């Protein structure tokens, strides 16, 4: 192998890409923008490393290897190229869609498909790299150099986007693009796997509040009407964001009314579909149970009669069609990092 260090360097950047991509996907706070910045630097680092990795791949095609191993390696390479291409085009050219998914969604899905093949590839090839090779001083310097070049390449392409007036210059720190601010219900809908319940009749709807509390509540729609307001940005992992004025009742007022027990450690907001997200009590203080959006009553698609407004969180945590709030004795992190339904 002519450039064995390129394999280790590529693996390092891929690991950084996956970790930073996950945290970038699940964080909507600008205080954590470092995750997406690292993701972009690692992406350009991979592009630079591919100059030498390609030479290794071409040489390996001449080796006597099982067809299955060769095929898996080629599929992994193809997926990596597609993942990089979808990310770069989304970041520079602007939002696009193929079939029913946005470009950034394809970037995420292809990245997820890479993981099992990458783990297999590591297991298959690791025998050729003794521990001493991983601790080599020159490898460290090459990694640092490639990281620095990745940073330069990222900033250079950002400057190119501004100079050429490309749409990429307007994206948010999460990579999302603006979609109709302050437009009432006329903005895209956040959707997940089970987002098609029947319309809810607000006259019979009740919000059940229970769990580790001193007393339980059952609130009607009128109990939540026109009490508190907040301006917040809904940032969907599908690649768009929209800032709206929301109106309803502050969750902190519900918490204050209930007086959670000393054993209460988190609050679960649950949809009529069974979909839920769990938050710390401190974080929930800033949330709103919204009935209106920019002077309009929420539409069914946006969560009527009540949806959660969670500033600084990605769209999948803005639970729609809320029917239950449960105070739990388990910590807020004791849940799947991404919804599974």
Q: Mean pLDDT across the chain, nearest whole number?
A: 91
Distance CA 7, CA 315 (A): 36
On whether residue 240 sits in a domain, the answer given is yes
Question: Is the domain of 182 the same as that of 167?
Answer: no
On whether residue 41 sits in a domain, the answer given is yes
Distance CA 341, CA 324 (A): 17
Question: Is the domain of 114 the same as that of 263?
Answer: no
Instruction: For 212-268, write each residue's pLDDT tens digit.
Output: 998 899 999 988 876 899 999 999 999 999 999 999 999 999 998 888 999 999 999
Instruction: For 284-317, write each residue's pLDDT tens digit.
Output: 999 999 999 999 999 999 999 999 999 999 999 9
Which pLDDT value is given to residue 298? 98
On whether residue 269 sits in a domain, the answer given is yes
On whether residue 340 sits in a domain, the answer given is no
Question: Is the domain of 134 the same as that of 199?
Answer: no
Full domain range(s) for residue 117:
4-175
For residue 167, pLDDT over 90 is answered with yes
More confident residue, 119 or 324: 324
Question: Is the domain of 37 the same as that of 152?
Answer: yes
From 175, 200, 223, give the residue that closes a domain: 175
Question: Is the domain of 267 the same as that of 207?
Answer: yes
Question: Is the domain of 64 the same as that of 94?
Answer: yes
Question: Is the domain of 165 the same as that of 122?
Answer: yes
**HEC string for the chain:** CCCHHHHHHHHHHHHHHHHHHHHHHHCCCHHHCHHHHHHHHHHHHHHHHHHHHHHHHHHHCCCCCCHHHHHHHHHHHHHHHHHHHHHHHHHHCCCCEECCEEHHHHHHHHHHHHHHHHHHHHHHHHHHCCHHHHCCHHHHHHHHHHHHHHHHHHHHHHHHHHHCCCHHHHCCCCCCEECCCCCCCCCCCCCCCCCCCCCCCCCCCCEEEEECECCCEEECHHHHCCCEEEEEEEEECCCEEEEEEEEEEEHHHHHHHHCECCCCCEEEEEECCCCEEEEEHHHHCCCEEEEEECCEECCHHHCCCCEEECCCCEHHHCCCCEEEEEEECCCCCCCCCCCCC
Which pLDDT value is given to residue 116? 94
Asked whether the beta carbons of 21 and 39 are under 8 A apart, the reply is yes
Instruction: For 86-110, write each residue's pLDDT tens digit.
Output: 999 999 999 999 998 999 999 999 9
From 175, 201, 217, give the residue that closes a domain: 175
Structure tokens at 214: 């001193």
On whether residue 170 sits in a domain, the answer given is yes
Question: Is the domain of 186 the same as that of 170?
Answer: no
> Averaged over 20-34, what is the pLDDT?
93
End-to-end CA distance of the chain: give it in Å, rounded.
45
For residue 133, pLDDT over 70 is answered with no
On whether residue 119 sits in a domain, the answer given is yes
* Cα–Cα separations (whole angstroms), residue 278 to 198, 218, 317: 24, 20, 9
Question: Is the domain of 134 the same as that of 279?
Answer: no
Number of domains in the chain: 2
Q: Residue 262: which CATH number? A: 3.90.420.10
From 124, 145, 175, give the residue that closes a domain: 175
Question: Is the domain of 100 the same as that of 234?
Answer: no
On whether residue 337 sits in a domain, the answer given is no
* Cα-to-chain-centroid distance, residue 337: 10
On whether residue 226 sits in a domain, the answer given is yes
Which pTM value belongs to this model? 0.90
Question: Is the domain of 35 the same as that of 70?
Answer: yes
Question: Is the domain of 218 the same as that of 316?
Answer: yes
> Averaged over 74-89, what is the pLDDT?
95
Burial class (CB in 10 A: 0-12, 13-18, 19+), 32: middle
> Averaged over 183-194, what is the pLDDT?
88
* Cα-to-chain-centroid distance, residue 246: 23
Which pLDDT value is given to residue 249? 94
| Buried-state track 267-278, b at ≥16 Cβ within 10 A, e below 16 | bbbbbebebbbb
């Amino acid at each position: 192998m002519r450039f064995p260090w390129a394999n280790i360097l590529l693996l390092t950047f891929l690991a950084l890409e996956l970790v930073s991509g996950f945290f970038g996907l699940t964080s909507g706070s600008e205080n954590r923008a470092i995750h997406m910045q690292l993701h972009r630097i690692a992406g350009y680092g991979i592009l630079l490393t591919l100059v030498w990795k390609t030479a290794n791949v071409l040489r390996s095609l001449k080796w006597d290897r099982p067809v299955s191993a060769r095929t898996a390696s080629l599929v992994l390479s193809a997926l990596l190229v597609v993942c990089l291409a979808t990310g770069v085009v989304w970041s520079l050219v602007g939002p696009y869609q193929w079939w029913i998914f946005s470009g950034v969604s394809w970037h995420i899905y292809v990245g997820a498909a890479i993981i099992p093949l990458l783990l297999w590839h590591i297991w298959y090839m690791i025998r050729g790299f003794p521990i001493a090779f991983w601790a080599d001083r020159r490898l460290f310097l090459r990694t640092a150099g490639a990281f620095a070049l990745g940073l330069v390449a990222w900033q250079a392409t950002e400057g190119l986007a501004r100079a050429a007036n490309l749409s990429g210059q307007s994206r948010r720190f999460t990579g999302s693009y603006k979609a109709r601010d302050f437009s009432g219900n006329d903005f895209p809908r956040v959707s997940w796997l089970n987002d098609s319940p029947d319309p809810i009749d607000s006259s019979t709807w009740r919000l059940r509040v229970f769990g580790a509390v001193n007393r339980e509540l059952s609130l009607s729609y009128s109990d939540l009407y026109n009490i508190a307001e907040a301006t917040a940005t809904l940032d969907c992992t599908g690649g768009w964001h929209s800032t709206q004025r929301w109106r309803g009742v502050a969750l902190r007022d519900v918490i204050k009314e209930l007086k959670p027990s000393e054993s209460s450690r988190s609050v679960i907001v649950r949809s009529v579909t069974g979909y839920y997200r769990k938050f710390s009590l401190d974080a929930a203080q800033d949330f709103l149970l919204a009935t209106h959006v920019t002077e309009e009553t929420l539409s069914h698609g946006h969560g009527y009669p009540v949806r959660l407004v969670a500033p600084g969180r990605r769209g999948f945590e803005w639970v729609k069609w809320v029917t239950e709030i449960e105070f739990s004795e388990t910590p807020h992190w004791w849940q799947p990092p991404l919804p599974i339904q």
